[in-house]
Structure 1
Amino acid sequence: MVNTALDVPGIRLQAGELLALRGDAPRAGRAPPASRRPGAVPAKPAGAGMDLREIRAFAEGDDTRRIDPAATARTGTPHIRSFHEDRDETLLLIADFRPPMLWGTGATLRSVRAARRLALLGWRAVAQGTSLAAIGVGAGGVTAIPFGGGVRQMIRVSHMLASRHDHALESGGGALPLVEALIRAARLAPPGADVMIATGTDGIAREDEPALARLARRRRVRVLLALDPSETTPPSSPLPIHAGALTRFARLRPFDRAALSQRLRALNVGLEVLGDDAG
């Protein structure tokens, strides 16, 4: 059970509030098909489609059966043909509930605001017939829900997010790297999937970048950045900093999102900013 002092809106994440966001998501005009391909039973995608996307140099891990003889003979180095994927729409949500996300100077914690946004994206995906999966990462480790569809899947995701958030509030502990969740995501999400990672300004460390780049190699990855009011509109006056008998004054600067955007762009990852409570 969560401490009663933490059981207040904006601090504790309730499954009910995530389920209620279904009303904010657009409803489909008719029930979506189980699969984008013909037939009533969803099936695993067969792989690449028939439309040529590019001919490029062979890289480690590529399928040797797709080597293009003409380009290989012309250049003297192995080249392969790659095709646009023939796949169903898939979305993987990753919620960061590590200690740096469990704070806020506004009406809600970073983690709560990020989870609400992920849930809204999840409900929109359900309305469009998209297959959905979710990962929650906290000081206690990584929890994953494999891909599924429909309202029942989103209900499972909502309860998982609320449960993992409760555990994060109670457990505390040090901030683990995000890399374990990124490795799990690469195993879970098929090529061509959309991946949304909700985290904070300090959520992606330098040691996470290789795993993030591998995840983004054949998937559309975006970071949903939950900003606190102190990071978007910090106080204009200097603030005192006390260390024993010493006192210094410092002025806070707004978070430089352009620098993070450039860093992520080099990894083939997009950035979406989730503003403070007022925004």
Structure 2
Amino acid sequence: MSAALDMPGIALRAETLIALRSLALHHEDNTVLAALPGGFVTKRRGHGQEMADVREYVAGDDIRHLDRGSTARTGTLHVRSFQEERDRVTLLVADFRPAMLWGTRRALRSVAVAEALALIGWRIIEQGGRVGLLAIGAAEPVVVSVKGRIRGMLALIGGLVRAHDAALQLALAGERNDPVLDGALARINRVAPTGAEIVIASGFDTPGPDLRDRLGQISQRRTPRLISVVDDVAENLPPGVYPIRMPDGSRRRARITGQDRAEPASEIAGFPVLRLDSGQDVATTARVLQAAFPPDREP
């Protein structure tokens, strides 16, 4: 890789994404967001294998859950209660197409995509879920199968780094054409199990004519969640005349009047979207994602 691309905010490094684990879990125990409004997040009780606590027996408790050690020490019947066992599966979809390989401030949009998905992935793994990856670009997509635990997250990070490096190399070779997004998402149904949560982080450039239908098909058996990664400075340039370079190498001037600017979209193809600015610091991104993806949330 050339020295120009081996810079913070341009190159994607595995150690950087691994280090996001501590940031992803910061203040998690203090959150007051819940799956239902009006309360605090509580630990759910169920019949999983992770023990929640030991308490005195009351009428109606399952006698099979008697805790012999506590009963013997106290002389009073005690039973174990367990955390609810739920298999949360999330496929993280990273858009590394050519249009994502630019940015005006802290990082390329593609790097911001990888950071956001890593933050989400670390929290899901910590909560006992499993994560997989579909990284799309101008070449063949990179797929990492759904896995759990830290080993699964490290495999996902490796996939992100490989896919991003490949996208940068294609850009160096002159690749500038974006495959349509609706076609790139067709693989989701083959790599994500039924019932999975699908987190798509993209700029949604070149969506294709069938994006709405594609997301509708995904939502029939899975739960899509959209994250739009934008560059606020580029989208809100002050009025003036700006030189631009076209894909064919020619140069032109564009006049920005500052009038008729559209409000940021709250939906894309009829689905709610969370908006992230690639220029903001990663700590801010982590706080935004923590509010949007609270702990113990059902997919």
**1:114-169 C-alpha deviation (Å, 9 max, x unpaired):** 11010000000000001111111111121111111000011011111011101100
Looking at CA atoms only, which structure, 1 or 2, has the larger radius of gyration?
2
Runs of 4+ aligned residues of structure 1 deviating over 3 Å after TM superposition are: 36-40, 240-248, 252-256
Structure 2 residue aligned with 1:7? 6
User: Aligned partners of 2:137 and 2:9: how far apart in 1?
Assistant: 18
Matched residue count: 221
Root mean square deviation, CA, Å: 2.8
Q: Secondary structure at the match of 2:194?
A: coil
User: Aligned partners of 1:242 and 1:159: how far apart in 2?
Assistant: 35
User: Aligned partners of 2:277 and 2:170: how far apart in 1?
Assistant: 27
User: Aligned partners of 1:247 and 1:117: how far apart in 2?
Assistant: 34
Q: 2:255 aligns with which of 249, 257, 263?
A: 249
8 A Cα contact 1:193 1:219, kept in partner: yes
* Structure 2 residue 195 is the aligned partner of structure 1 residue 192: yes
Deviation at 1:23, TM superposition (A): 1.1
**TM-score of the superposed pair, with normalisation by structure 2:** 0.66
Q: Which moved more, 1:197-206 or 1:110-119?
A: 197-206
User: Aligned partners of 1:228 and 1:264: how far apart in 2?
Assistant: 20
Identity %: 32
| Unaligned ranges ≥5, structure 2 | 30-45, 51-84, 285-299
User: Aligned partners of 1:117 and 1:224: how far apart in 2?
Assistant: 9
Structure 2 residue aligned with 1:238? 240
Q: 1:202 aligns with which of 187, 201, 205?
A: 205
User: Aligned partners of 1:211 and 1:3: how far apart in 2?
Assistant: 37
User: Aligned partners of 1:246 and 1:91: how far apart in 2?
Assistant: 44
Q: 1:201 to 1:178 in 2, by over 3 A?
A: closer
User: Aligned partners of 1:17 and 1:162: how far apart in 2?
Assistant: 10
**TM-score of the superposed pair, with normalisation by structure 1:** 0.70
* Structure 2 residue 217 is the aligned partner of structure 1 residue 214: yes
Taking the TM superposition and a 5 Å limit, the aligned residue runs for 1:85-100 are 88-100=87-99
User: Aligned partners of 1:168 and 1:177: how far apart in 2?
Assistant: 16
Structure 1 residue aligned with 2:130? 131
Q: 1:39 to 1:249 in 2, by over 3 A?
A: closer
Q: 1:226 to 1:252 in 2, by over 3 A?
A: farther
User: Aligned partners of 1:222 and 1:203: how far apart in 2?
Assistant: 19
8 A Cα contact 1:96 1:111, kept in partner: yes
Structure 1 residue aligned with 2:115? 116
8 A Cα contact 2:211 2:269, kept in partner: no
Q: 1:249 to 1:17 in 2, by over 3 A?
A: same
User: Aligned partners of 2:240 and 2:21: how far apart in 1?
Assistant: 43
Deviation at 1:201, TM superposition (A): 4.3
8 A Cα contact 1:228 1:276, kept in partner: yes
* Structure 2 residue 179 is the aligned partner of structure 1 residue 176: yes
User: Aligned partners of 1:229 and 1:192: how far apart in 2?
Assistant: 34
User: Aligned partners of 1:187 and 1:246: how far apart in 2?
Assistant: 43
| Unaligned ranges ≥5, structure 1 | 30-35, 41-85
8 A Cα contact 2:226 2:272, kept in partner: yes
Q: Secondary structure at the match of 2:207?
A: coil
User: Aligned partners of 1:182 and 1:130: how far apart in 2?
Assistant: 23
Q: Which moved more, 1:197-206 or 1:3-12?
A: 197-206
Taking the TM superposition and a 5 Å limit, the aligned residue runs for 1:4-153 are 4-26=3-25, 38=48, 88-153=87-152
* Structure 2 residue 160 is the aligned partner of structure 1 residue 158: no
Letter in 2 for 1:116: E
Deviation at 1:216, TM superposition (A): 1.6
User: Aligned partners of 1:102 and 1:245: how far apart in 2?
Assistant: 20
Q: Secondary structure at the match of 2:106?
A: coil
Q: 1:248 to 1:120 in 2, by over 3 A?
A: closer
Structure 1 residue aligned with 2:231? 228
Q: Secondary structure at the match of 1:141?
A: coil
